Amino acid sequence: MAAKKKAEAKASNRFAKPTAKDFQVILEPRITEKSMDLMQNQNKITVKVLDSANKTEIKLAVERIFQVKVEDVRVSNVRAKQTTRGTRYQGKISGYKKAVVTIADGEAIDLFKE
């Protein structure tokens, strides 16, 4: 009986608790039509990450925060863009780093909790 409880405790604590650094690495989810399609059909989430973060840090942060198994991480730098508001006002949209994280089959992340 005690062995069964220990096995259940290990299963529920597969991942370490998230640290403050994990919450600094993952800045925010990127919600677009393409990212929602990836989330529903291919079990991938798209997040904005810290500019200095690497794939290993991103993988560990997602696993600790969301308590899911990560299979793959793909990282890209989104370039800054010049923009115009109306006909007079010039502006700039800042660049950022984003990651597309593939979650293992049978696991899911609910970004829109009620």
> Does 3.30.70.330 match the CATH number of domain 19-103?
yes
Q: Which residues are registered as beta bridge partners of 103?
A: 70
The pLDDT tens digits for 6-19 are 555 555 567 889 88
d(CA 107, CA 71): 11
The predicted structure's pLDDT at residue 49: 97
Residue 4 has a pLDDT of 60
Q: What is the pLDDT of residues 53-98, one digit of tens each?
A: 999 999 999 999 999 999 999 999 999 999 998 888 999 999 999 9
Can you list the alpha helix ranges (DSSP code H) found in 1-99? 2-12, 20-25, 33-42, 55-66
The residues spanned by each domain of the chain are 19-103
The pTM of this model reads 0.81
